[in-house]
Every structure is written in structure tokens, then in C-alpha cells.
Amino acid sequence: MHRGYTLAELAVVLAVMGLVAALAFPRWGTWLDRVAVERAASEITTALAVTRNAAVLRATRARLSIAPDSLGIDGWGGRSWVPVLRWPGPASHAVSLETSNEMVIFGATGIGLGVSNTTVMLRRGTQAAKITMSRVGRVKRW
């Protein structure tokens, strides 16, 4: 009766596992980049929506600060900006950030104040996402 595996059987199994790993690891890195960029893009689009909603619900101005290390929502307190909500930015996912406006301000009606359009570019590895927001608050991901 035969118990265990022969050295040849173990060598074949290890060779097959090595081949599968060699084929999977490059795709694994690309997949991780895509997931990180999508997550960061989702967080920014959510932050834009929450900021706009806060301005409309409170019937006052609200602004979103977009920085690599943090995203922050502030509400207008009558004389100055009051912090409302903060969370980590795209850098927490090792995603780089380029933005045309670091501050996006919404009026009480939900219309963007200041510069008309905002563009946000997110990159990690070979993956990239572009987010644009129009003056009326419409957000589009490319």
C-alpha cells in the first residue's frame, strides 16, 4: 500500500502553482490599482453629493475641500466656515490627485458658486479616473 506523495508528484504540483502565480500576479496589481482608483472616485463623488445636499437642506452655503490627504465639508456659520465632516482623502488609497479647484462651494439652492466647472483626476499605476462637476452640480465620471 502506497502512503504519501512521491517527489515527482510534488515537483509537478509546485511547478503548476508557480506558473499560475506568475500569470496571476501582474493582473493582480492592475486589479488592485483599479479598485483603489474606483474607491477614491466613489468617495469624491459622494463627498460632492453630500456637500450639495448639506447646502440645500441647511439653506446656506457649504463647501468641500479636496486635498490628497483629506476631504472635508464645512458649513457657513454666518461669519465663518464651520467644520461639519472630515475623512481621509485619495492618498489613503495610494491614489494621486489633481484638481482644478481645491474648494467647491455650493449655494443654498445647490448651484455651484465661483468657478463654473471642477475637474478631478485620480491616478494609480496604469489606472485613472476623471470626475467633472458642472456649475449646476451635475457630476460625471469618465
User: What is the DSSP annotation of 71-105?
Assistant: EEEEEE-SSSEEEEEEEE-GGGGT-EEEES-SEEE
Give residue-wise pLDDT tens across range 68-123.
Answer: 999 999 999 889 999 999 999 999 999 999 999 999 999 999 998 876 689 999 99
Instruction: Give the model's confidence band at 35: pLDDT under 50 very low, under 70 low, under 90 confident, else very high.
Output: very high
pLDDT(130) > 70: yes
pLDDT(24) > 80: no
Of 20 and 27, more confident: 20
Of 60 and 28, more confident: 60
Domain ranges of the chain: 7-141
Fold classification of 7-141 (topology level): minor pseudopilin epsh fold (3.55.40)
- Please tell me the number of Cα atoms within 13 Å of 17 on its side-chain side: 6
Of all residues in the chain, the percent with pLDDT exceeding 90 is 70
Of 138 and 3, more confident: 138
- Average pLDDT of span 40-65: 95
The one-letter amino acid at 108: A
What is the structure's pLDDT at 1? 63
- Average pLDDT of span 22-30: 78
Distance CA 131, CA 46 (A): 12
- Assessment of whether the complete model's pTM goes beyond 0.85: no
Rg (CA), the chain: 23
What is the structure's pLDDT at 116? 66
